Amino acid sequence: NNYVIGYSMAASSSSTPNVFRLREQSRVELKRVMDSFPGRKDLVIDPKLMQQLDRIANVTFLKKECEVDKIFKLDPIQKAIVGYTKRLYLVRPKISNMKCIADQILHDKSYREERKYRIVMVPRKLHLCEMILEQEGVFGYCEIDEFHHDLVAVDSDIMSMEIPEYFRSFFLDGELSWIHTIATSIKNIQNLMGPIPNKYAIGRGAKMCFELLKKLEGDKLVEPDLSKSEIGHLILFDRDIDYVTPLCTQVTYEGLLDDIFGIKCGFIEFDIDISGKEQGAKILLSSKDMLYDDIRNRHFTNVFDLLKSKAKELQALSDKRHGLSSVTEMKDFVANDLKNLKQEKQILSYHIGACERIIEKKTKSDFEDYIQTEHSLLEGSSLRSCMGYIEDCINKQEKLIGTLRLMCLLSLTQDGIPARDYRNLKTWFLHSHGFEQMLTFYNMKKLGLFREQNPSFQSAKPLPKMATGIDPLAGNSNFKALRKRLNLVPSEDVDLKNPLDMSYVFSGAYSPLSCKLVEQCLSREGLEEITKTLIGGDRDTCTSEVKLKTVKVGKGQVKPGPSPAKAVLVYFLGGCTYSEIIALRFLGKKTGYTFLIATTAIINGHSLLESIVERPLIPNYNLP
């Protein structure tokens, strides 16, 4: 199986693509869906689609343009909805959603309520869902439609499908239904921004998507018009190629905001302690906010001083009003400066409050020990000390996800753990956190996150009680080979204030493997050799197949075309972190490329492991 494939053609374009065209396109499609069910109607929305819908259309648009009367959240506990005689459901195509909708329709029928129903599935309808509706006995009562909406423009360089469940469903459960949606989203981008001439796929899912995309595009009798290409390169990247990066602790400001508060579809919510408002505050994080744009990519240690200097600037501007000598000057100040000044002060106070919360959580001594252990694992040094720290975390019953992150990093950076140490860690963890975590270990082993070392690499003895010379845990490993070949761990210190290396996103300890591979794709230097040792896929081997296509001139003749556009679309299948986004922005400034990031979801180490950790069963409230 070839997990890394590619083909290349030429294109030329200098403009930076405007991803917000996707929003307008989705808005038009939403209007079509609503108009196809004419008249006043109630709208019932899948909670997981709420924030995406916020980015496309506000309540005013829905009520005035789409004739929506009331808006409800789809709730499995709520069977009775008092509302209009027409109801439209906007939901993900999931079995649980179909059963919930069926319960509500059957409840209405039991009370002889006359109502028309339409179920709109996002991004496409599935036959399985129609079968569930038929089994529940409600298929004949409702009309079925689909809303072709996939990527959300979260910011000027970020697009997300907002389907965090993709990671588990594809990599753990082998569910392939989302591959079609991803391929369709790329086809849609090409319809808006022109054909993408250079395409690369790294990983099994990426390859499937790559091949499906070629089928969707069809056999073209003529070469596409590359003069309209706004994007020169597409790199499809499977998350399981690089698990190390998302498991590392984020230390850039934007990454820490996601870790501490959670950024959902570009929005962040601050509680009363930070906002000063009883109901809290929900703000949109955007590059249009000049203050946020200035601090988002910085290492956290450089953010607070910048905020203090900004506060002094705003104070100086505020004091300007005391020097106004005429009514005209005062009027100009109120009309032009006062409103913006108030808004900027409010935003500044939010960021200062957020910084204080981050400092409070991230300056404790146990956090420093955690980071030091993480860095040692990445470097492959002091492994006995790292094992000791992980044992202490287990015995003290530290946070479950945090301990699992270190255990997975230990396994990934050393290409598995010797059998005896693997059994010990697993046994201690189960004694500490409960036997139900047996399923979690099964999931982690299946994904390759935490596993025994290959017997061919194992030492005859387990880890010694004290480190003596060469640590037997540090055997030959894929990560070790990649670390050396790609210089993932810089040998020199990195200036965190004025960085010259992308490793600053992890305090100079590690450069994201995924971003280094993107750099290799664009430079074409040794990608084929590197992919042979990639961590990922089935954990055996990854082979590469690279096809360099040129622009046809005449029968039997070929010649190289002009240089491709400098815009690069990197598409992460299984999620990406803000640290990777920031590293790619840095790489763009360094190389002259403009990077656009598309992803199935924006994740972090906590959300990645949370999706595969088995929790105690939650009571089923649908049961009598």
CATH number at residue 445: 1.25.40.850
Tens digits of per-residue pLDDT, 382-416?
889 999 999 999 999 999 999 999 999 999 999 89
> How many other CB atoms sit within 10 Å of the CB of residue 356?
13
Tens digits of per-residue pLDDT, 353-368?
999 999 988 877 788 8
Q: What is the pLDDT of residue 472?
A: 39
Same domain? For 92 and 170 the reply is: no
Same domain? For 180 and 235 the reply is: yes
| Domain endpoint, select from 295, 329, 362 | 362
d(CA 188, CA 345): 40
Confidence category of residue 545, pLDDT binned at 50, 70, 90: very low
Cα-trace Rg, the chain: 27
Mean pLDDT of 502-507: 96
- The residue assigned the tokens 């040794």 is 526
Mapped onto helix, strand or coil, the DSSP state of residue 362 is helix
CATH number of the structural domain spanning residue 583: 3.40.50.1910
Q: What is the pLDDT of residue 540?
A: 37
Same domain? For 372 and 474 the reply is: yes
Residues 6+ apart with CB under 8 A from 355: 300, 303, 304, 307
Q: Do the domain assignments include residue 487?
A: no
Q: Do the domain assignments include residue 237?
A: yes
- The residue assigned the tokens 């400001």 is 253
CB contact at 8 A, 510 and 503? yes
Half-sphere exposure of residue 71: CA atoms within 13 angstroms, side-chain side: 17
Instruction: Check whether 67 has a pLDDT greater than 80.
Output: yes
Q: Do the domain assignments include residue 452?
A: yes
% of the chain with per-residue pLDDT over 70? 82
Same domain? For 423 and 440 the reply is: yes
Q: Do the domain assignments include residue 492?
A: no
Q: Do the domain assignments include residue 489?
A: no
Quote the mean pLDDT of the chain.
85
Determine the residue type at 79.
K
Mean pLDDT of 436-452: 95
Rounding to the nearest 10 degrees, give the CA dihedral for residues 533, 537, 541, 547: -80
Q: What is the pLDDT of residue 427?
A: 96
| Domain endpoint, select from 149, 180, 214 | 149
* Residues counted in the chain: 624
Q: Which two tokens stand for residue 352?
A: 């200062």
Range of the domain at 111: 21-149
Confidence category of residue 466, pLDDT binned at 50, 70, 90: very low
CATH number of the structural domain spanning residue 70: 3.40.50.2060
The H-or-E segment that residue 443 falls in is helix 438-447
Same domain? For 93 and 199 the reply is: no
Q: How many domains does the chain have?
A: 4
CATH number of the structural domain spanning residue 298: 3.90.830.10
Q: Do the domain assignments include residue 491?
A: no
Tens digits of per-residue pLDDT, 189-219?
999 999 998 888 888 999 899 999 989 888 6
Same domain? For 101 and 125 the reply is: yes
Tens digits of per-residue pLDDT, 90-139?
999 999 999 999 999 999 999 888 899 999 999 999 999 999 999 999 99
Q: Do the domain assignments include residue 578?
A: yes
Same domain? For 114 and 29 the reply is: yes
Same domain? For 244 and 304 the reply is: no
Q: What is the pLDDT of residue 556?
A: 46
Same domain? For 183 and 235 the reply is: yes
Same domain? For 343 and 448 the reply is: no
Which among 268, 436, 467 is positioned nearest to 351, based on CA atoms? 268
pTM of the predicted model as reported, rounded to 2 decimal places: 0.88
Q: What is the pLDDT of residue 557?
A: 46
Same domain? For 203 and 298 the reply is: no
Same domain? For 26 and 145 the reply is: yes
513: region left, alpha or beta (phi > 0 left; psi from -120 to 50 alpha): alpha
Q: Do the domain assignments include residue 473?
A: yes
**Which pairs from 68-73 meet CB under 8 Å and 24+ separation?**
68/34, 68/40, 68/41, 68/42, 68/43, 69/40, 69/41, 69/42, 70/42, 70/43, 71/42, 71/43, 71/44, 71/45, 72/42, 72/43, 72/44, 72/45, 73/44, 73/45, 73/47
Tell how many helices (H) and how many strands (E) occur in the chain.
25, 18
Confidence category of residue 623, pLDDT binned at 50, 70, 90: very low
| Domain endpoint, select from 362, 397, 421 | 362
